[in-house]
Amino acid sequence: MLTVPSLYSNQQALVDDGVRPAMQEVGNVILSSEPGSGKTRMSKHICACAMNKPPSDRQTGRILFAVHRRGLVDNAIDSFKEPPYLPHGVLMSSRNTDWSQRMQIGSIDTLLSWHLDNGIYTSKAFFDLVIYDECHAHLPTFARWLMAHNEARKAAGFTSPFVLGLSGTPDAKGQGDLFQRIIQGPTPQWLIEAGQLSPFRYYGGSSVEDALAGDLVRDWRLYANGRQTMGFFRYVADAKHAAELFNKHGIRAEYVDSDTKDKTRRAMLKDLDSGRLTYLANVGICERGTNVRNIGAIQLCVRIRSLARYRQIISRASRKSDVWPDAVLIDHGDNAQHGFFEDTVHWTLDHSRLLFSPHSNRPMSECPRCQRRYRGGKCWDCGYEPRSASHQASNMIFDQSQLQRRKLTAGRRKRTVKTNEQLFTEALYRAGRSGRTYRSAYGLARMEAEKQGTKFKLPRRVTVGGEVVDLIPYDHVDSGRRVADVFPRFASRKTRKAR
């Protein structure tokens, strides 16, 4: 008898009261639970229980755990090797195959290559239970293999198999044709409050273009300094540039893509988990099924259209870390439209129809002082209090629970809010005349912006006396030099003469 993995009480209830009855009733179901909430362990529990039972006359006693990517095969192997160990073979090219094991972990591409010939299932390997991990991805490919498998299985006199899909974001075309029901686990907020997932803090970074021009490291240091971080990019060149940029600033970074060898990629992820590596830049490699516990931050340098993809990416940091008390999201791509990880999404078999919890529709604010994004009155970090035009007109303030009338101050004038160009121009003059550096000018401008309650963003150029002055990025090689040396026009006449 195999030792059955133990589960949290909520996981056990989800398996016993949700998944098993549904599979007995309709056959094919999706287990939808948040990334990091233990779907693989729950499926391992189900597999161990199934293997402890003798198969019937019309069953084979075999189980398949299928995935769509080589890296996910390795993740599944690692999970099934964890105590209690569950014996298994591996069906993937360049790996040793052990058909004597009742359970197999397989790549769907390998299964198609090995088992199908012109759409006909030619193998004698039939499975009673088929589990497809990340079932929202490459669903047509899996469905093609499953249809051929089931037809051949039926022709051989076996019963139809049970099919279990696993996904934190079950949103795929055609899933309603393959599955009959979605069993949804606890909400993200419940899992966070239960201590099973990490809470998040959200910050708006500079735009994608500005970040790649030099603000990437600066924003990371400001919001996530020292945390193991996954950076997500649209283009390979951008991801490579980001890794180079971090290494240039003394932060150990690597870049991974589809050409990276399996062994090298696994080593990078282990280094990231242990802290030997701080930053991992990627394009589409770490978006789903990448299980690294100690990710402390996600840096999004890409604009994402899909809600499912957005939630998959940010949830790489949702696992409860041994190092970090929470997770940080730095968003350079203005992806706030998709909401927070804590928001509940009620997934349906009709992928075009999603239902959100009521609190997800509450307006989102970005604090002009600390740039944290939140919902509600005062900023959860620094206590900044936004005031609407109507509240300002009626002199009302929000005190966490209700609106209160603000005391009037006689003779108070309305302060003019300066633009970033104005702030930085003044800062350049101050720094230039006092012998300070370009970076010091940036700090002066940022401080003045904070005083007036706005977010400072380094402008690309300023206009002085009708002349346009092109500026340099914050991390430019000359930014550590004195303003008087880099831009003499901002120095005093005395300083210019001395030069």
Q: What pLDDT, in 10s, does the model give residues 31-50? A: 999 988 999 999 999 999 99
- Residues 201 and 334 grouped into a single domain: yes
- Residues 125 and 206 grouped into a single domain: no
Read off the DSSP letter of residue 197. Answer: B
Burial of 103: CB neighbours in 10 Å, binned 0-12, 13-18, 19+: buried
Structural domain includes residue 396: no
**Domain boundary at 186, 214, 245, which?**
186
Residue written as token pair 């401080």: 447
Phi, psi of 241 (to 5 degrees): -60, -40
- Strands 229-233 and 253-256 come out as unpaired
Structural domain includes residue 388: no
Structural domain includes residue 71: yes
Residue 351: the pLDDT is 66
**Cβ neighbours of residue 436 closer than 8 Å, sequence gap 6 or more:** 430, 482, 483
Identity of residue 228: Q
Structure tokens at 488: 């003499």
Structural domain includes residue 415: no
Residue 213: the pLDDT is 61
Report the number of distinct structural domains present in the chain. Answer: 3
| Residue 423 contacts residue 433 (beta carbons within 8 Å) | no
Region 269-286: what's the mean pLDDT?
Answer: 95
Full domain range(s) for residue 78: 9-186
- Residues 145 and 205 grouped into a single domain: no
Q: What is the band of 411 on the pLDDT scale with cuts at 50, 70, 90?
A: very low
Cβ neighbours, 10 Å, residue 363:
6
**Is the pLDDT score of 197 beyond 60?**
yes
* CA distances (Å), origin 96, targets 84, 121, 403: 22, 22, 68
**Domain boundary at 133, 162, 186, which?**
186
Region 213-237: what's the mean pLDDT?
Answer: 91
CA pair distance 418, 423, nearest whole angstrom: 6
Among 111-120, 202-211, 445-454, the range of highest mean pLDDT: 111-120
Among 78-92, 200-214, 331-345, the range of highest mean pLDDT: 78-92
Region 169-193: what's the mean pLDDT?
Answer: 94
* Percentage of the chain exceeding pLDDT 90: 62
Q: What is the band of 361 on the pLDDT scale with cuts at 50, 70, 90?
A: low
Residue written as token pair 């989800």: 14
Q: What is the band of 448 on the pLDDT scale with cuts at 50, 70, 90?
A: confident
Which residues pair with residue 131 across a beta bridge?
Answer: 65, 164
**Cβ neighbours of residue 103 closer than 8 Å, sequence gap 6 or more:** 47, 51, 62, 63, 64, 65, 80, 86, 87, 88, 89
